[in-house]
Each structure stands twice: as structure tokens, then as C-alpha cells.
């Protein structure tokens, strides 16, 4: 863009007005996606049964994440 005589050059500033809304939308979409995926793995595929008492803590954490996660991530994503 060439400066021609008789025209003024103005600086145009465009602040990011929708940036926080986009970040919140992305976070909500991630939470809803994680809730749906945990529900699918925990209740549809039944990939993580309840572990034996005194068993490995990793098995219990996997069960808790996939069987409690949908009820935690879903509402957080909706809020």
C-alpha cells in the first residue's frame, strides 16, 4: 500500500474482544469430550472393572477416572 499525497495513514488497532470466550468454549468442549470418552470406556465397553481389594492403586485410579469422570467432567463442561 503506497502512501499517496493527500491521504492520511491511520493506525488501526483491533483488540481481541472474543479471546476469553473462545478459550472458555475450547475448555468446555474438552471437558465434554473427556466426559463422553470416559463414559464410553467405563460403561459401554466396560474396560475398567472395579479392582480387587488390596490390589494395585493404578487399577483403582483407572476405574475411578473412567467410572466417576463422566459425572465430573460433563457438568464442569456445561458450567
Write the pLDDT tens digit of every residue in 8-39: 778 888 777 767 888 899 999 999 999 999 99
Q: Is residue 11 part of a domain?
A: no
Q: Are 16 and 25 in contact (CB under 8 A)?
A: no
C-alpha cell at 74: 460433563
Q: Is residue 53 part of a domain?
A: yes
Q: Is residue 61 part of a domain?
A: yes
Q: Which domain holds residue 73?
A: 36-78
- pTM summary value: 0.67
Q: Are 59 and 51 in contact (CB under 8 A)?
A: yes
> Residue 5 has what DSSP assignment?
T
Q: What pLDDT shows up at residue 75? A: 92
Mean pLDDT score of the chain = 86
Q: Is residue 21 part of a domain?
A: no
**73 confidence band (pLDDT: 50, 70, 90):** very high
Between CA 65 and CA 67 the distance in angstroms is 6
Q: Is residue 67 part of a domain?
A: yes
Q: Is residue 66 part of a domain?
A: yes
Tally of structural domains, the chain: 1
Q: Is residue 7 part of a domain?
A: no
Q: Is residue 62 part of a domain?
A: yes
Amino acid at each position: 500500500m503506497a502512501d499517496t499525497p493527500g491521504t492520511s495513514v491511520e493506525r488501526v488497532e483491533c483488540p481481541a474482544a472474543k479471546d476469553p470466550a473462545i478459550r472458555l468454549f475450547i475448555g468446555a468442549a474438552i471437558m465434554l469430550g473427556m466426559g463422553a470418552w470416559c463414559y464410553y470406556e467405563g460403561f459401554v465397553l466396560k474396560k475398567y472393572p472395579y479392582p480387587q481389594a488390596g490390589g494395585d492403586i493404578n487399577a483403582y485410579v483407572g476405574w475411578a477416572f473412567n467410572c466417576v469422570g463422566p459425572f465430573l467432567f460433563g457438568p464442569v463442561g456445561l458450567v
